[in-house]
Amino acid sequence: MIRFSKNFPLYKYPFGFLKQLSGYYQYFDHPVIDTKNPVMGSFLGINGKQSFLSSLRDKHKGQRCFIIANGPSLNDLNIDYLKDEITLGCNGIFNRFNEWGFHTNYYFIEDNVQTELRVKEVSKLKGPIKFIGLHNNYCFPFFNDLNYFHVPIRGNMDYTSSEDLYPQFSLDVAAITYFGGTITYIMLQFAYHLGFDEVYIVGLDHDYGKLPEIFPPGKIKVTKENYAMVQQCHYDKNYYQIGDTLGVPHVEAQNSAYEKANKIFNQSGRKVFNASSNTKLEVFEKVKYENLF
3-state SS assignment for residue 141: coil
Share of the chain above pLDDT 70, in %: 90
- DSSP assigned state of 2: -
Asked, for residue 39, whether it belongs to a domain, the answer is: no
| Closest by Cα among 208, 187, 178 to 272 | 187
Asked, for residue 152, whether it belongs to a domain, the answer is: yes
- Which amino acid makes up residue 114? Q
Rounded CA gap, 293 and 278, in Å?
19
pTM of the model: 0.91
CA 104 to chain centre: 13
What's the pLDDT score for residue 268? Answer: 97
Asked, for residue 263, whether it belongs to a domain, the answer is: yes
pLDDT digits (tens, 9 = 90+) for 37-74: 655 555 555 678 899 999 999 999 999 999 999 999 99
Asked, for residue 276, whether it belongs to a domain, the answer is: yes
Asked, for residue 15, whether it belongs to a domain, the answer is: no
| Closest by Cα among 249, 241, 250, 247 to 222 | 241
Rounded CA gap, 26 and 2, in Å?
15
pLDDT digits (tens, 9 = 90+) for 71-118: 999 999 999 999 999 999 999 999 999 999 999 999 999 999 999 999
Asked, for residue 88, whether it belongs to a domain, the answer is: yes
Rounded CA gap, 24 and 29, in Å?
10
Asked, for residue 42, whether it belongs to a domain, the answer is: no
pLDDT digits (tens, 9 = 90+) for 198-227: 999 999 999 999 999 999 999 999 999 999
Asked, for residue 210, whether it belongs to a domain, the answer is: yes
**Beta partners for 220?**
246
Number of folded domains that form the chain: 1
CA 163 to chain centre: 23
Question: What are the helix and strand counts (H, E) for the chain?
Answer: 9, 12
Q: Is the pLDDT confidence value at 264 over 70?
A: yes
Cβ density class 33-55: b for 16+ within 10 Å, e for less: eeeeeeeeeeeeeeebbbeebbe
- What's the CA dihedral at 118, 119, 124, 130 to 10 degrees? 90
Rounded CA gap, 16 and 121, in Å?
18
> What is the domain extent for residue 218?
57-292
pLDDT digits (tens, 9 = 90+) for 145-158: 999 999 986 544 45
Task: Identify the CATH number of the domain in which residue 233 sits.
Answer: 3.90.1480
